[in-house]
Amino acid sequence: MNTHIQNKKSIKKFLLTLLLFIFIFQISNLKSNEVFAQQITLSISPPLTEAVIKPGKSILVAYTVSNIGDPVVLSSGVRPFVPQGQFGDLIVEEEFSGPIRFNLENSNIKLSDSFFLPTRQGQQLLLKIRVPEGTPEGDYYYTFFVKNEPGNFLEGATSSQATAVVGSNILITVTESGLVDVQGGIGQFGVIPKYQLTFLGKKFSFFESTDTIPIVLVLNNKGKNLIKPYGTIDLKGNFGERAEFDLIPQNILSQSSRMVIATPSAQLSDVQSSVNLSGFFVGKYTLNTSLNFGIGTENLTSTMSFYAIPFKVIIATFVALAIGILLVKKIGKEE
CA distance 102 to 54: 15
Overall number of domains in the chain: 2
155 and 196 in a common domain: no
- What confidence score (pLDDT) does residue 78 get? 98
pLDDT, residue 201, reads 83
Q: Are residues 158 and 246 in the same domain?
A: no
State the residue range of the domain holding 117: 42-174
Domain CATH code at residue 254: 2.60.40.3880
Clarify whether residues 189 and 134 are in a common domain: no
Measured distance CA(193)–CA(214) in Å, rounded: 8
> The pTM is what?
0.80
Both 161 and 87 in a single domain? yes
Judge whether 322 and 328 are in contact, CB under 8 Å.
Answer: no
11 in a structural domain: no
Q: Are 246 and 266 in contact (CB under 8 A)?
A: no
Q: What pLDDT is stored for residue 230 in this prediction?
A: 98
**Could you report the average pLDDT of every consecutive run of 10 residues in the chain (335 residues)?**
52 56 48 51 96 98 95 96 95 96 96 94 97 98 94 50 87 96 97 89 90 96 98 93 94 97 66 88 96 96 95 88 85 72
Beta pairing partners, 49: 170
Has residue 30 been placed in a domain?
no
- CA Rg value for the chain: 33
How high is the pLDDT of residue 37?
53
